[in-house]
Amino acid sequence: MKLLIDIGNTNIKWGLCQGKEILSHGEATNKIWKSLVQTHGVTHAVITHSGKGVAATLQELKNLGIPVTEFNTTSPLPLTVDYATPETLGPDRLAAACGAWLQTNHEACVIIDGGTCVTIDYVDAIGFYRGGAILPGIDMQLKALHQNTARLPLIPWERSIESDPLGRTTHESMLAGTVCAMQFAIKEFVQYYSRGNIVPKVFVTGGDGPIITSHISNTIFDPLLVLKGMATLPIE
Protein backbone atom coordinates (compact mmCIF):
# COMPACT_ATOMS: atom_id res chain seq x y z
CA MET A 1 0.00 0.00 0.00
CA LYS A 2 1.32 3.44 -0.96
CA LEU A 3 0.66 6.57 1.04
CA LEU A 4 0.45 9.66 -1.18
CA ILE A 5 1.09 13.01 0.50
CA ASP A 6 0.62 16.36 -1.21
CA ILE A 7 1.84 19.24 0.96
CA GLY A 8 0.48 22.51 -0.40
CA ASN A 9 0.76 26.09 0.76
CA THR A 10 -2.56 25.86 2.62
CA ASN A 11 -3.52 22.20 3.08
CA ILE A 12 -1.97 18.75 3.31
CA LYS A 13 -3.82 16.10 1.30
CA TRP A 14 -3.29 12.37 1.44
CA GLY A 15 -4.38 9.28 -0.41
CA LEU A 16 -4.02 5.53 0.07
CA CYS A 17 -3.18 3.77 -3.16
CA GLN A 18 -3.01 0.19 -4.36
CA GLY A 19 -1.41 0.04 -7.77
CA LYS A 20 -2.76 3.16 -9.45
CA GLU A 21 -6.13 3.06 -7.70
CA ILE A 22 -6.78 5.54 -4.89
CA LEU A 23 -8.80 3.70 -2.26
CA SER A 24 -9.32 6.54 0.22
CA HIS A 25 -8.22 10.13 0.68
CA GLY A 26 -8.57 13.19 2.89
CA GLU A 27 -6.92 16.26 4.37
CA ALA A 28 -4.61 15.96 7.33
CA THR A 29 -2.00 17.24 9.72
CA ASN A 30 1.26 15.45 10.44
CA LYS A 31 -0.35 13.70 13.42
CA ILE A 32 -2.32 11.34 11.17
CA TRP A 33 0.59 9.51 9.53
CA LYS A 34 1.19 6.99 12.30
CA SER A 35 -2.46 5.95 12.29
CA LEU A 36 -2.60 5.59 8.50
CA VAL A 37 0.64 3.63 8.33
CA GLN A 38 -0.25 1.20 11.11
CA THR A 39 -3.90 0.75 10.19
CA HIS A 40 -3.46 0.20 6.45
CA GLY A 41 -0.10 -1.52 6.20
CA VAL A 42 1.62 1.27 4.30
CA THR A 43 4.99 0.17 2.91
CA HIS A 44 6.04 3.26 0.96
CA ALA A 45 5.20 6.95 0.76
CA VAL A 46 5.23 9.29 -2.24
CA ILE A 47 5.35 13.00 -1.52
CA THR A 48 5.01 16.30 -3.35
CA HIS A 49 5.55 19.57 -1.59
CA SER A 50 5.12 23.22 -2.52
CA GLY A 51 4.48 24.54 0.98
CA LYS A 52 5.68 24.35 4.56
CA GLY A 53 5.62 21.37 6.89
CA VAL A 54 7.77 19.09 4.75
CA ALA A 55 10.49 18.48 7.34
CA ALA A 56 8.02 17.41 10.03
CA THR A 57 6.30 14.99 7.65
CA LEU A 58 9.58 13.46 6.48
CA GLN A 59 10.79 13.06 10.07
CA GLU A 60 7.56 11.37 11.14
CA LEU A 61 7.71 8.92 8.23
CA LYS A 62 11.38 8.22 9.00
CA ASN A 63 10.48 7.48 12.62
CA LEU A 64 7.88 5.02 11.34
CA GLY A 65 10.43 3.30 9.10
CA ILE A 66 8.60 4.20 5.88
CA PRO A 67 10.76 4.86 2.79
CA VAL A 68 9.83 8.06 0.96
CA THR A 69 10.03 8.89 -2.74
CA GLU A 70 9.69 12.49 -3.85
CA PHE A 71 7.64 12.99 -7.00
CA ASN A 72 9.53 15.29 -9.39
CA THR A 73 10.89 15.60 -12.92
CA THR A 74 13.44 12.82 -12.31
CA SER A 75 10.66 10.31 -11.53
CA PRO A 76 9.53 7.75 -14.14
CA LEU A 77 6.65 9.72 -15.67
CA PRO A 78 3.98 9.07 -18.29
CA LEU A 79 4.85 12.51 -19.74
CA THR A 80 7.92 14.02 -21.33
CA VAL A 81 8.85 17.26 -19.58
CA ASP A 82 9.69 20.04 -22.04
CA TYR A 83 10.45 22.84 -19.58
CA ALA A 84 13.48 25.13 -19.62
CA THR A 85 14.11 24.82 -15.87
CA PRO A 86 12.77 21.40 -14.82
CA GLU A 87 14.44 21.70 -11.41
CA THR A 88 12.10 24.61 -10.59
CA LEU A 89 8.89 22.97 -11.81
CA GLY A 90 6.44 22.51 -8.95
CA PRO A 91 5.85 18.80 -8.37
CA ASP A 92 2.15 19.42 -7.76
CA ARG A 93 1.85 21.01 -11.22
CA LEU A 94 3.62 18.04 -12.75
CA ALA A 95 1.55 15.48 -10.84
CA ALA A 96 -1.71 17.16 -11.85
CA ALA A 97 -0.56 17.14 -15.48
CA CYS A 98 0.21 13.41 -15.26
CA GLY A 99 -3.14 12.73 -13.62
CA ALA A 100 -4.97 14.58 -16.39
CA TRP A 101 -2.96 13.11 -19.29
CA LEU A 102 -3.74 9.55 -18.19
CA GLN A 103 -7.45 10.31 -18.46
CA THR A 104 -7.19 11.40 -22.09
CA ASN A 105 -6.92 9.22 -25.16
CA HIS A 106 -3.68 10.88 -26.25
CA GLU A 107 -5.37 14.24 -26.51
CA ALA A 108 -4.03 17.67 -25.63
CA CYS A 109 -5.18 18.95 -22.25
CA VAL A 110 -5.15 22.06 -20.10
CA ILE A 111 -4.86 21.63 -16.34
CA ILE A 112 -6.13 24.37 -14.03
CA ASP A 113 -5.39 24.15 -10.31
CA GLY A 114 -7.16 26.77 -8.22
CA GLY A 115 -5.33 26.89 -4.91
CA THR A 116 -3.27 29.45 -3.01
CA CYS A 117 -1.80 30.16 -6.43
CA VAL A 118 -3.62 29.35 -9.65
CA THR A 119 -1.63 27.32 -12.15
CA ILE A 120 -2.55 26.74 -15.78
CA ASP A 121 -0.56 24.06 -17.59
CA TYR A 122 -0.60 22.57 -21.05
CA VAL A 123 0.15 19.04 -22.27
CA ASP A 124 0.14 18.47 -26.02
CA ALA A 125 -1.32 15.53 -27.92
CA ILE A 126 1.96 13.59 -27.95
CA GLY A 127 2.37 13.75 -24.19
CA PHE A 128 4.84 16.61 -23.84
CA TYR A 129 4.40 18.87 -20.84
CA ARG A 130 5.02 22.29 -22.42
CA GLY A 131 4.65 24.66 -19.45
CA GLY A 132 2.02 27.17 -18.48
CA ALA A 133 1.31 30.07 -16.17
CA ILE A 134 1.24 30.87 -12.45
CA LEU A 135 -1.17 33.48 -11.12
CA PRO A 136 -1.81 34.71 -7.57
CA GLY A 137 -4.91 33.06 -6.16
CA ILE A 138 -8.08 34.99 -5.30
CA ASP A 139 -7.40 35.15 -1.55
CA MET A 140 -3.82 36.29 -2.18
CA GLN A 141 -5.02 39.03 -4.52
CA LEU A 142 -7.62 40.32 -2.07
CA LYS A 143 -5.06 40.44 0.74
CA ALA A 144 -2.58 42.28 -1.50
CA LEU A 145 -5.17 44.92 -2.39
CA HIS A 146 -5.78 45.57 1.30
CA GLN A 147 -2.15 45.42 2.45
CA ASN A 148 -0.79 47.68 -0.28
CA THR A 149 -3.40 50.43 -0.19
CA ALA A 150 -4.64 52.87 2.42
CA ARG A 151 -8.38 52.51 2.02
CA LEU A 152 -9.28 49.19 0.44
CA PRO A 153 -10.81 46.81 3.02
CA LEU A 154 -9.80 43.24 3.71
CA ILE A 155 -12.43 41.04 2.09
CA PRO A 156 -12.56 37.41 3.22
CA TRP A 157 -12.76 35.18 0.16
CA GLU A 158 -16.07 33.33 0.28
CA ARG A 159 -16.55 30.94 -2.61
CA SER A 160 -20.34 31.20 -2.37
CA ILE A 161 -20.35 34.91 -3.30
CA GLU A 162 -21.37 35.70 -6.88
CA SER A 163 -19.22 38.27 -8.68
CA ASP A 164 -20.30 40.75 -11.34
CA PRO A 165 -17.81 42.39 -13.74
CA LEU A 166 -19.63 45.67 -13.16
CA GLY A 167 -18.93 46.28 -9.48
CA ARG A 168 -21.18 48.95 -7.98
CA THR A 169 -19.57 49.13 -4.55
CA THR A 170 -15.91 49.00 -3.52
CA HIS A 171 -16.49 45.48 -2.23
CA GLU A 172 -18.05 44.40 -5.53
CA SER A 173 -15.37 46.18 -7.55
CA MET A 174 -12.63 44.32 -5.70
CA LEU A 175 -14.33 41.00 -6.44
CA ALA A 176 -14.76 42.04 -10.08
CA GLY A 177 -11.05 42.80 -10.27
CA THR A 178 -10.08 39.46 -8.76
CA VAL A 179 -12.67 36.74 -9.33
CA CYS A 180 -14.06 37.99 -12.65
CA ALA A 181 -10.63 38.99 -13.94
CA MET A 182 -9.34 35.51 -13.06
CA GLN A 183 -12.23 33.91 -14.94
CA PHE A 184 -11.54 36.06 -18.00
CA ALA A 185 -7.81 35.34 -17.87
CA ILE A 186 -8.30 31.58 -17.65
CA LYS A 187 -10.76 31.61 -20.54
CA GLU A 188 -8.20 33.46 -22.67
CA PHE A 189 -5.45 31.00 -21.72
CA VAL A 190 -7.64 28.06 -22.75
CA GLN A 191 -8.42 29.77 -26.05
CA TYR A 192 -4.71 30.41 -26.61
CA TYR A 193 -3.93 26.72 -26.11
CA SER A 194 -6.77 25.86 -28.51
CA ARG A 195 -4.92 27.13 -31.57
CA GLY A 196 -5.64 25.64 -34.98
CA ASN A 197 -7.56 22.38 -34.87
CA ILE A 198 -6.50 21.62 -31.31
CA VAL A 199 -9.36 21.45 -28.84
CA PRO A 200 -7.76 20.44 -25.54
CA LYS A 201 -9.66 18.82 -22.72
CA VAL A 202 -9.80 21.09 -19.70
CA PHE A 203 -9.19 19.51 -16.30
CA VAL A 204 -9.85 21.48 -13.14
CA THR A 205 -8.75 20.80 -9.58
CA GLY A 206 -8.23 22.75 -6.35
CA GLY A 207 -10.71 24.39 -4.00
CA ASP A 208 -11.25 27.49 -6.15
CA GLY A 209 -11.16 25.56 -9.40
CA PRO A 210 -14.90 25.25 -10.12
CA ILE A 211 -15.53 28.95 -9.49
CA ILE A 212 -12.69 30.42 -11.52
CA THR A 213 -13.53 28.13 -14.47
CA SER A 214 -17.30 28.59 -14.32
CA HIS A 215 -17.32 30.50 -17.63
CA ILE A 216 -15.62 27.64 -19.48
CA SER A 217 -17.82 24.88 -20.84
CA ASN A 218 -17.09 21.15 -20.75
CA THR A 219 -14.53 21.26 -17.96
CA ILE A 220 -13.72 18.09 -16.02
CA PHE A 221 -13.48 18.73 -12.29
CA ASP A 222 -11.29 16.22 -10.48
CA PRO A 223 -10.27 17.03 -6.90
CA LEU A 224 -7.87 14.05 -6.90
CA LEU A 225 -5.87 15.07 -9.97
CA VAL A 226 -2.57 15.58 -8.11
CA LEU A 227 -2.92 12.33 -6.16
CA LYS A 228 -3.78 10.42 -9.35
CA GLY A 229 -0.61 11.72 -10.93
CA MET A 230 1.46 10.67 -7.91
CA ALA A 231 -0.11 7.21 -8.06
CA THR A 232 1.50 6.59 -11.45
CA LEU A 233 4.91 5.95 -9.89
CA PRO A 234 5.69 2.21 -10.18
CA ILE A 235 6.27 1.67 -6.45
CA GLU A 236 4.54 -0.86 -4.22
Q: Which residues are catalytic?
A: 92
Query: Angle at Cα 70 formed by Cα 19 and Cα 26, nearest 5°?
Result: 60
Q: How many other C-beta atoms can be found within 10 angstroms of the C-beta atom of residue 145?
A: 16
Annotate 163-176 with b (16+ C-beta within 10 A) or e (fewer).
beeeeeeeebebbb
